[in-house]
Amino acid sequence: MSQLDVTFLGTGTSHGIPVIGCSCPVCTSCDPRDTRYRASILLQSEIFNILVDTSPEFRLQALRAGLKSLDAVFYTHDHADHFNGIDDLRVFCKDHSLPVYCKEDVALAIQSRFSYVLNGDDIAGGIPHLDLRILKPFEEVEIGNFKVMPIPVLHGKREIFAFRIGSFAYATDCSEVPERSLPYFEGLDALVVGALRYWPHPTHYSVFEAVAFGRKVGAKRVYFTHLSHGLSHATLSAELPEGFSVAYDMLHIAVGS
């Protein structure tokens, strides 16, 4: 794969921005970059499309991005802000099953919370038809011209997956990277990492911690996502060191192989 095109479908934390009922400067900002759907990305080559996470706004994200086809979906974990848009996958699997790659605990969550998306016989397109495929840490899977590596990271005490494709890595909802996972973040052209807020949080990197992680692994470019309403795009952008950027909804970046 010579080039990977990445679209940030959403860059907000679990509340989304603006937060319901909030009148803070970010929630009332006129800067469109401060309006954030819940976090998700779209990975595209010339012929293949892969989605990471189905946020509650997935339908709106897909319409905004002009998405017409999907070849696979990968899940980082099953928290509602990354997961609850799963029903809107139905339009991408009307006449076939759509491969969905995830950890075993996420597969169990799909089976218990959205059981109707599995083994269905509705040929009218009213429900998704998903083909669950279990990922194992550090075992690469190949989809067309994509090679996707699941990398364990910690979200509080819970182990979830980050993903690496070529020289690109996506690590949202991360509060710590285990020692065994660090080598898999080396040699990156672009790293996307969650940076929730300025001060520490038990299950997410703060801005300071996200900067430290980007420096530790030596990524050429680092983009922050999963941002709270405590972070103004313009203000944070002006504060970051060279090589670090604040992502925003519908930002497109290209990553070499």
CATH number for the domain spanning 11: value is 3.60.15.10
pLDDT at 130 over 70: yes
Q: How much is the pLDDT for 207?
A: 98
Q: What is the mean pLDDT of the chain?
A: 95
Q: How much is the pLDDT for 171?
A: 98
- Residue listed under structure tokens 């907000």: 12
Q: How much is the pLDDT for 128?
A: 87
Chain Cα centroid distance, residue 21: 26
Q: What is the mean pLDDT of residues 95-118?
A: 92
Between CA 224 and CA 32 the distance in angstroms is 16
Q: What is the mean pLDDT of residues 69-75?
A: 96
Spatial contact of 108 and 118, defined as CB atoms under 8 Å apart: no
Residue 107 pLDDT class (50, 70, 90 cuts): very high
Percent of the chain with pLDDT over 70: 96
Q: Is 94 exposed, middle or buried (0-12, 13-18, 19+ CB in 10 A)?
A: middle
CA dihedral sign, ordered 157, 158, 159, 165: negative
Give residue 114's domain range.
3-256
Spatial contact of 240 and 231, defined as CB atoms under 8 Å apart: no
Between CA 142 and CA 116 the distance in angstroms is 27
AA letter at 116: Y
Q: What is the mean pLDDT of residues 67-80?
A: 96
Between CA 162 and CA 75 the distance in angstroms is 9
Note the pLDDT tens digit of each residue in 196-245: 999 999 999 999 999 999 999 999 999 999 999 999 999 999 999 999 99
State how far the alpha carbon of 9 is from the alpha carbons of 14, 28, 69, 238, in Å. 14, 21, 15, 23
Task: Indicate the pTM of the whole model.
Answer: 0.95
Query: 49-80 burial, b if ≥16 CB within 10 A, otherwise e?
Result: bbbbbbbbbbeebbeebebeebbbbbbbbbbe
Q: How much is the pLDDT for 120?
A: 63
CA dihedral sign, ordered 43, 48, 51, 57: positive
How many domains, the chain?
Answer: 1
Note the pLDDT tens digit of each residue in 161-184: 999 999 999 999 999 999 999 999
